[in-house]
Amino acid sequence: MLELKNISYSVIDENQVNIDILKHINLKFNKGINVITGQNGSGKSTLIKVIMDINKATSGKVIYNGKDISNMNITERANIGFTLAFQQPIRFKGIKVKNLLDIASSKNNKLSDACEYLSKVGLCAKDYINRDVDNTLSGGELKRIELAIALAKGGEVFLFDEPEAGIDLWSFDSLIELFKNLENKIVIIVSHQEKIIQCANKVVVLDNDNVKEYTSKQAIKQIKKIQCGKLGG
């Protein structure tokens, strides 16, 4: 289990004014698919970064399997099984897909190994294994490669920040299947997509200090009510 206890995160703007991004967040994530959704600016991506320690929580604790890991840095969390796929994939000029898969998995992958990782995200290994991870790849290709790298690294806690970004409609079912294959892990996904919310075991609707938890069906109904209200329906 991953537990967040009274997590807050704030920043100081250019006018030296303290701005609260997250306020007193208390959540528990069990094995299965957990989706975090909410309006833009509600702190969803920030919460993912706090869990990974890219952003250091202003206050509160992160508890993993009963152990307080609040003082662990990003490398230490990665070493105990935390894996993050960013909203905007990072480009690595001069490094090939094969190199990144090897680094992530800590081994020299055979073509069959690489094929297993890449095929799960809809890519053919022979077409991509020797490609440079640079501007010649589209945003969608980079996103899939990053997801393949996350699979190669493995772990027990998978954090995905809007993994559907750049994924075409025809590949969406494969993306859902990828998440379902990780149901024996703690999977936390930031997403607005209804299909991803539908496959969730738990949905967290985040609005800064206002946090509500739902089943997938309850969440979809609630989100549609909010949208309808904003449109004056």
Q: Kindly report, residue by residue over 150-176, the tens digit of the pLDDT.
A: 999 999 999 999 888 767 765 678 888
Q: Is the pLDDT of residue 192 over 50?
A: yes
pLDDT value of position 124: 86
Using DSSP, state whether 224 is helix, strand or coil. Answer: helix
- For the record, the structure tokens of 66 come out as 């009963």
pLDDT value of position 227: 56
Q: Indicate the helix (H) or strand (E) that contains 133.
A: strand 132-133
Highest mean pLDDT among 9-23, 82-96, 147-161: 147-161
Phi/psi-derived region of residue 89, left when phi > 0, alpha when psi is between -120 and 50, beta in every other case: beta
Find the mean pLDDT for residues 1-23.
Answer: 90
Instruction: Encode pLDDT of 48-81 as tens digits.
Output: 999 999 999 999 999 999 999 999 999 999 999 9
Is the model more confident about 230 or about 92?
A: 92
Q: Where does the pLDDT of residue 228 fall: very low under 50, low under 70, confident under 90, or very high at 90 and above? A: low
Q: How far apart are CA 212 and CA 219, in angstroms?
A: 9
Find the mean pLDDT for residues 179-187.
Answer: 94
List the chain domain ranges. 85-154
| Residues 140 and 175: beta-carbon distance below 8 Å | no
User: Which residue has 């905007």 as its token pair?
Assistant: 88
Is the model more confident about 223 or about 111?
A: 111
Q: Where does the pLDDT of residue 89 fall: very low under 50, low under 70, confident under 90, or very high at 90 and above? A: low
Quote the pTM value: 0.89
Q: What's the one-letter identity of residue 6?
A: N
